[in-house]
């Protein structure tokens, strides 16, 4: 906390210091009639002698403006520009005697010429607004010679780039980045921001994502993403760029890789390869998204950890999870435009991940005056091999209609060996049981899916037709060998041995067709009709074998642990809604009729046929920056939860399916407020959401007197989940010498659930509060400071006295310093600290990891970089976590990478500009297009 307070004091002092001895001007802008205020006009202040920019502001909705932070005793010029109006110039000089100047009201005269034709280059405004597009003049924002587009974006007002490279503009997410109006490697934002040099950019344009709007024409503006278009300087139209790196260090640590990106007009090609054993993906998630093409062909699930590891669609790309990871991968991506109507993307990626895990886990369950404790020591080594092939075809049929087809294939193989030793006890008996469990898993997955979408606009405004088709087929086969020895010490003592093979095959099939039509009835009333039908078929077959008399082969079927379930069905939905819009208020209400027919066929149990009909209401409303939505959804249980067979791969924690499960019906709502104040450069965000479930799937548990647990899914009513979050951010980005960003956030969760253990039923109310504070400061690109801190408080209150109330508090802090020293040296340091004051005995309460490095930039344009880094300087790194669920608290401590030194050389490849027409291959390598 002391470091946080010092950071706040430092940021406050910098702000106050920068505000001293400064002046300000103010005024108001209206059109030539004097009746209409001109909002979002740009007021730029230059030094009169050399036209260098001092600062700028935008006018507010009333047309008023105030420009603070202006120097005294220096001749200045203000240039007022607004799209479609003549430019206004005004000379002035502020003094100590008159630091404030009121310029009065300006009446701007309409002019059909564009700003570029009116303004001389030296007086182009830093920011201008043209209809629904915000345009930044890149040359007005100074960056280092080695800066990338990401560094440029961090300087733009209203633009926020987080530590993972995610971009928001005025609080709205950036979905894609274009280059000169064309998709750049599928439009993934991070490929451009982390590869393109900032000094090749002329303008940065921001507008609504029209592609997202076409896919969901009824989306609320607050949820509509943004698209950034990078307009290149005229001399930069063709080129290739990338990087290659290699490093080695102590404890046999290493990393190596390369990525090359080439483009010419409409053709874009990218290749990458990497390998390392330092718990990192070979590149950031952006590189895989760009080259693997995941952004373009669909991401169904994303998992990211704090060290930069990630998994997409269940495929790990390194650095994911806990333990020590070695990862290798290679990929190819190609984008091309055929004329102005057809765009094609092709991509392939191969990844291999090896993970070694050592973990200590301590679980405490609370029953009245009894505490049941299970302690596990786990060692596991796993290998995963994955292939992904994907494509994306976009066809602009004509000015009214378009077609998009995106197929993909996933192939994955995984192998793992795991040993686990566990003990169970309670506060009355020191030892109830012991278990030695050895597992070996061989799995193979293969799947194909595609989506096909057709969209057509009509000459009549707001009339729209969209047709969508989805198809998925997936197979997973899994062989798990188990050798288990259990010892029970409660009288009468006993011992149990299990030697078995579980052969499980799962097949999933989905095919869907949807149609949406929108018809404007009047200027303020719109009718929307939609229909969707889906056929699904799931099969899960489990066969368990015991070892035969020879003791070598698993060839004796265990009928008690074998069964199969085949589930197939149809889901049909018809929806009708009306949208009413008057001024800034929009209200939409509708009703959906849904039929759900499911046939569950079991190998050894009676067939269960389920027929359901639902009327599902919807309501949404938006007013200015506010948006509200309410709907009701239905989801059927997973096929594996229906399987009436015991999963005894962990004999002390067994799982049983329930063929009587019925679908869950959820009432959902969310309320959103998002406002960016251009005058104060502040962003306000509030979000509330909740759901109330009927027939929710929860898990009931039994724990016997020997410590053996059995869990089974059941339906339950009255499951509530509510979440609220808010954050307020303030940017100071109008001064060329320094920049400051502050953000405060607060999130709260409230869940009401049901716990069933040993037939004891209890309502449990869970509260979670998460306040946080972020701050960043940049001084002339020479000094960067970043500080993050958050607390998580979790409390569970039980209605029944059969359970004990639980409370958990955790603290997390991250500090980063970057100093760019003279003569091409860059020093960087980061400290991550976490504290869990209530961990179990033998589990560490705190974890501190200090990473540092020194970089030396050399060669022309600093294309070469030599970095000496140290990971975990104090050699104290570990992974400690605490979670609460149902009636237990679980602490995990995992062995992770500890101190090592690494020396890495990186070469940045950048070549831009038009080639000679008689040259097929350039002198500087590879292809010059």
Q: What is this structure's pTM?
A: 0.76
Task: Report whether pLDDT(765) > 50.
Answer: yes
Task: Report whether pLDDT(928) > 50.
Answer: no
Task: Report d(CA 449, CA 467) in Å as an integer.
Answer: 17
When pLDDT is averaged across residues 272-277 and rounded to a whole number, the result is 90
Computed from CA positions of residues 709, 712, 717, 723, in that sequence, does the dihedral angle turn out positive or negative? positive
Task: Report whether pLDDT(221) > 80.
Answer: no
- The β-bridge partners of 437 are 420, 484
Per-residue pLDDT reduced to its tens digit, 512-526: 999 999 999 998 899
Per-residue pLDDT reduced to its tens digit, 653-695: 888 889 889 999 999 999 999 887 766 778 888 999 999 999 9
When pLDDT is averaged across residues 357-366 and rounded to a whole number, the result is 87
Whether a cis peptide bond, with omega within 30° of 0, leads into 188 is no
Task: Report d(CA 215, CA 228) in Å as an integer.
Answer: 19
When pLDDT is averaged across residues 868-897 and rounded to a whole number, the result is 83
Lowest mean pLDDT among 4-8, 549-553, 734-738: 4-8
Residue of 702, 812, 707, 809 lying closest to 758 (CA atoms): 702
Residue 523, sorted as left (phi over 0), alpha (psi -120 to 50) or beta, turns out to be: alpha
Higher pLDDT, 261 or 629: 629
When pLDDT is averaged across residues 704-709 and rounded to a whole number, the result is 86
Task: Report d(CA 282, CA 64) in Å as an integer.
Answer: 51
Residue 880 · residue 889 · CB < 8 Å: no
Task: Report whether pLDDT(919) > 70.
Answer: no
What pLDDT was estimated at residue 913? 60
Residue 217, sorted as left (phi over 0), alpha (psi -120 to 50) or beta, turns out to be: alpha
Tokens of 801: 């006295």
Task: Report whether pLDDT(868) > 50.
Answer: yes
Sheet of 23-31: strands edge to edge?
64-70, 23-31, 100-108
Per-residue pLDDT reduced to its tens digit, 805-851: 888 888 999 999 999 888 789 999 999 998 887 776 767 778 888 99
What pLDDT was estimated at residue 55? 83
What is residue 927's DSSP assignment?
B
Task: Report whether pLDDT(125) > 90.
Answer: no
Residues 6+ apart with CB under 8 A from 699: 711, 712, 713, 714, 886
């Amino acid at each position: 906390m002391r470091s946080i307070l010092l950071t706040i004091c430092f940021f406050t002092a910098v702000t106050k210091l920068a505000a001293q001895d400064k002046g300000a001007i103010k005024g108001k802008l209206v059109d030539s009639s004097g009746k209409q205020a001109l909002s979002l006009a740009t007021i730029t202040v230059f030094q009169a002698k050399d036209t260098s920019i001092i600062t700028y502001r935008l006018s507010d909705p009333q047309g008023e403006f105030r420009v603070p932070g202006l120097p005294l005793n220096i001749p200045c010029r203000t240039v007022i520009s607004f799209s479609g109006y003549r430019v206004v110039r005004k000379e002035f000089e502020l003094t100590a005697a008159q630091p404030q100047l009121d310029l009065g009201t300006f009446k701007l005269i309409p002019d059909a010429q564009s700003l570029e034709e009116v303004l001389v280059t030296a007086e182009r405004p830093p920011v201008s607004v043209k209809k629904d597009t915000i345009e930044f003049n890149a040359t007005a924002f100074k960056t280092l010679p080695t800066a990338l587009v990401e560094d440029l974006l961090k300087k733009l007002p209203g633009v926020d780039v987080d530590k993972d490279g995610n971009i928001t503009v005025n609080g709205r997410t950036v979905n894609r980045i274009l280059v000169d109006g064309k998709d750049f490697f599928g439009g993934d934002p991070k490929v451009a921001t982390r590869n393109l040099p900032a000094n090749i950019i002329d303008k940065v344009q921001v507008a609504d994502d029209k592609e997202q709007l076409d896919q969901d024409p009824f989306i609320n503006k607050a949820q509509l993403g943004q698209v950034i278009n990078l307009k290149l300087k005229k001399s930069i139209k063709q080129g290739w760029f990338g990087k290659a790196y290699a490093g080695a260090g102590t404890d046999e640590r290493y990393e190596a890789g390369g990525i090359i990106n080439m483009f010419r007009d409409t053709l874009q090609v990218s290749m990458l390869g990497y390998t390392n054993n330092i718990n990192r993906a070979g590149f950031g998630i952006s590189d895989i998204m760009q080259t693997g093409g995941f952004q373009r062909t669909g991401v169904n699930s994303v998992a990211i950890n704090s060290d930069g590891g990630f998994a997409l669609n269940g495929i790990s790309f390194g650095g994911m999870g806990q333990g020590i990871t070695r990862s290798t991968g290679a990929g190819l991506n190609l984008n091309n435009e055929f004329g102005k109507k057809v765009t094609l993307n092709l991509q392939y990626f191969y990844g291999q991940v090896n993970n070694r895990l050592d973990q200590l886990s301590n679980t405490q369950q609370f029953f009245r005056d009894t505490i049941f404790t299970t302690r596990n020591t786990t060692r596991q080594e796993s290998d995963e091999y994955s292939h992904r092939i994907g494509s994306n075809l976009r066809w602009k049929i004509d000015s009214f209609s378009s077609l998009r087809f995106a197929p993909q294939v996933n192939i994955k193989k995984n192998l793992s060996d795991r040993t686990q030793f566990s003990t169970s006890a309670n506060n009355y008996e020191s030892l109830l049981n012991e278990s030695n469990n050895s597992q070996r898993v061989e799995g193979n997955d293969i799947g194909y899916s595609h989506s096909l979408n057709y969209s057509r606009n009509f000459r009549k405004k707001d009339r729209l037709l969209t047709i969508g088709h989805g198809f998925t087929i997936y197979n997973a086969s899994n062989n798990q060998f188990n050798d288990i020895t259990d010892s029970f010490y409660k009288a009468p003592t006993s011992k149990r041995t299990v030697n078995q093979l579980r052969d499980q095959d799962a097949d999933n099939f989905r095919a869907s067709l949807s149609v949406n039509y929108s018809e404007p009835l009047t200027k303020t009333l719109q009718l929307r009709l939609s229909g969707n039908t889906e056929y699904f078929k799931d099969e899960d077959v489990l066969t368990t074998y015991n070892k035969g008399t020879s003791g070598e082969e698993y060839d004796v079927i265990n009928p008690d642990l074998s069964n199969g379930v085949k589930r197939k069905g149809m889901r049909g939905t018809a929806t009708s809604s009306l949208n009413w819009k008057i001024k800034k208020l929009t209200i939409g209400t509708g009703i959906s009729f849904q039929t759900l027919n499911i046939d569950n066929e079991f190998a050894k149990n009676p067939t269960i046929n389920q027929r359901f009909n639902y009327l599902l209401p919807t309501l949404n409303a938006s007013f200015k920056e506010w948006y509200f939505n309410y709907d009701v959804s239905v989801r059927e249980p997973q096929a594996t939860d229906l399987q009436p067979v015991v999963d005894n791969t962990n004999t002390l924690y067994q799982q049983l399916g329930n063929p009587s499960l019925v679908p869950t019906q959820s009432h959902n709502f969310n309320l959103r407020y998002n406002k960016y104040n251009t005058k104060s450069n502040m962003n306000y965000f509030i979000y509330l959401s909740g759901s109330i479930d009927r027939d929710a799937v929860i898990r009931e548990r039994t724990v016997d007197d020997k410590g053996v647990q059995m869990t089974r899914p059941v339906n339950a009513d009255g499951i509530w989940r509510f979440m609220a979050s808010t954050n307020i951010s303030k940017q100071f980005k109008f001064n060329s010498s320094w920049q400051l960003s502050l953000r405060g956030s607060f999130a709260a969760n409230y869940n009401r659930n049901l716990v069933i253990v040993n037939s004891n039923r209890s309502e449990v109310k869970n509260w979670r509060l998460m306040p946080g504070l972020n701050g960043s400061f940049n001084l002339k690109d020479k000094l960067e400071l970043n500080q993050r801190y958050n607390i998580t408080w979790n409390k569970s209150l039980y209605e029944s006295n059969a359970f004990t109330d639980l409370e958990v508090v955790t603290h997390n802090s991250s500090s980063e310093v970057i100093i760019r020293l003279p003569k091409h040296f860059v020093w960087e340091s980061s400290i991550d600290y976490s504290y869990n004051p209530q961990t179990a005995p033998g589990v560490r309460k705190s974890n501190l990891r200090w990473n540092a490095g020194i970089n030396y930039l050399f060669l022309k344009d600093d294309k070469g970089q030599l970095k000496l880094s140290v990971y975990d300087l104090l050699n104290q790194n570990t992974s400690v976590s605490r979670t609460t669920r149902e009636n237990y608290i679980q602490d995990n401590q995992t062995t992770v990478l500890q101190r090592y030194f690494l020396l890495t050389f990186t070469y940045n490849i950048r070549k831009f500009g038009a080639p000679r027409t008689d040259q097929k291959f350039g002198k500087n390598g590879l292809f010059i297009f």
